[in-house]
């Protein structure tokens, strides 16, 4: 089962895009296609004026509470801290050095044989610590919460140039705004072929995977959800910045959703 949560915040360049994106999605859409069960949830009660941090907190809270069964209000008050390890990957796919940070939670005896779900966080240098803090808080408060690993996938040090390249699936017509673009497929290949094996090397089976992205990384999250839904079990896109080239990708998204809906109707 796949889940997509889209949280929106007010940002003038993309407000119209966000409203159009929601217009493509009814409150709940269920797809069934080639053994793929797909649900899209529209968070239509999130007002556009909410700040981004509130949107993130709501997303993680909803995911934590709904994805792993009933949670009882009991407290562990654990003093254990996550194990944090940084890795530098000499990527053959991207032909450059990339850094990821893995936050492994303390594991209680009851979960020794459980494969930890993994949240892969784009823009990891900005958002991974925040998500880890929320996960630790929930895990300490609720005993039925399984241990959750968080992976921060960082951008290359040269800032926006590498980020716009990695997070955009299309080559932008306006090169003054997007000096580099169109590298999303290569970046997803990097995650699939080089990040997954490193993070999950000690797992005896594929974990429950979640992809989290905000703004331009939310754009990549949406693209991966639409074009490669099998890569992750859940997708969290916060205020996806899909306004490139007059929001052309929204037309691609609309066509993909409509085609999948039509396939479901014909079955």
- In the prediction, which pLDDT does 233 show? 94
Domain tally, the chain? 1
Q: Give the range among 11-15, 59-63, 131-135 with minimum mean pLDDT.
A: 11-15
Q: Give the range among 23-27, 131-135, 249-253 with minimum mean pLDDT.
A: 23-27
- In the prediction, which pLDDT does 124 show? 94
More confident call, 6 vs 196: 196
pLDDT digits (tens, 9 = 90+) for 140-153: 777 677 889 999 99
pLDDT digits (tens, 9 = 90+) for 195-228: 999 999 988 889 999 999 999 999 999 999 999 9
The band of 79, judged by pLDDT with boundaries at 50, 70 and 90, is low
Its sign, for the CA torsion 217, 218, 221, 227, is: negative
- In the prediction, which pLDDT does 246 show? 86
Mean pLDDT over each residue of the chain, to the nearest integer: 76
The band of 6, judged by pLDDT with boundaries at 50, 70 and 90, is low
Q: Kindly give, in sequence order, each residue whose CB lies less than 8 Å from that of residue 255, ignoring residues fewer than 6 positions away.
A: none
- In the prediction, which pLDDT does 160 show? 65
| Adjacency order of strands within the sheet including 28-33 | 28-33, 36-42, 2-7, 234-238, 209-214, 118-122, 149-153, 96-104, 83-91
Report the DSSP pairing between strands 36-42 and 28-33.
antiparallel
- In the prediction, which pLDDT does 11 show? 39
CATH code for the domain in which residue 34 is found? 3.40.50.1820
Q: Give the 3-state secondary structure of residue 237.
A: strand
Domain span holding position 189: 2-265
Distance CA 66, CA 111 (A): 19
Report the DSSP pairing between strands 118-122 and 28-33.
unpaired
Distance CA 45, CA 34 (A): 32
The answer to whether residues 195 and 186 touch, using CB atoms and an 8 Å cutoff, is: no
Q: What is the CA radius of gyration of the chain?
A: 18
Percent of the chain with pLDDT over 90: 39
The band of 188, judged by pLDDT with boundaries at 50, 70 and 90, is very high
């Amino acid at each position: 089962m796949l889940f997509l949560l889209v949280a929106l915040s007010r940002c003038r360049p993309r407000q119209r895009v966000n409203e159009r994106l929601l217009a493509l999605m009814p409150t709940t859409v269920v797809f069934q296609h080639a053994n793929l069960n797909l649900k899209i949830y529209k968070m239509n009660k999130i007002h556009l004026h909410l700040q981004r941090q509130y949107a993130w907190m709501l997303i993680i809270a909803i995911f934590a509470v709904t994805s792993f069964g009933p949670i009882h209000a009991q407290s562990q008050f654990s003093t254990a801290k996550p194990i944090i390890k940084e890795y530098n990957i000499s990527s053959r796919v991207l032909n450059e050095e990339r850094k990821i940070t893995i936050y492994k939670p303390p594991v209680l005896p009851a979960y020794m044989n459980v494969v930890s779900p993994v949240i892969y966080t784009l823009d990891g240098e900005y958002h991974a610590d925040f998500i880890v803090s929320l996960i630790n808080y929930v895990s300490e408060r609720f005993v039925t919460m399984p241990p959750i690993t968080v992976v921060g996938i960082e951008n290359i040090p040269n800032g926006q140039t590498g980020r716009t390249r990695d997070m955009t699936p299309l080559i932008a017509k306006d090169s003054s705004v997007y000096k580099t673009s169109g590298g999303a497929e290569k970046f997803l290949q990097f995650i699939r072929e080089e990040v997954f094996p490193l993070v999950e090397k000690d797992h005896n089976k594929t974990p429950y995977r979640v992809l989290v992205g905000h703004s331009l990384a939310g754009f990549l999250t949406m693209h991966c959800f639409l074009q490669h839904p099998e890569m992750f079990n859940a997708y969290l896109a916060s205020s996806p910045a899909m306004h490139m080239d007059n929001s052309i990708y929204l037309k691609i998204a609309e066509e993909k959703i409509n085609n999948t809906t039509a396939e479901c109707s014909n079955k």
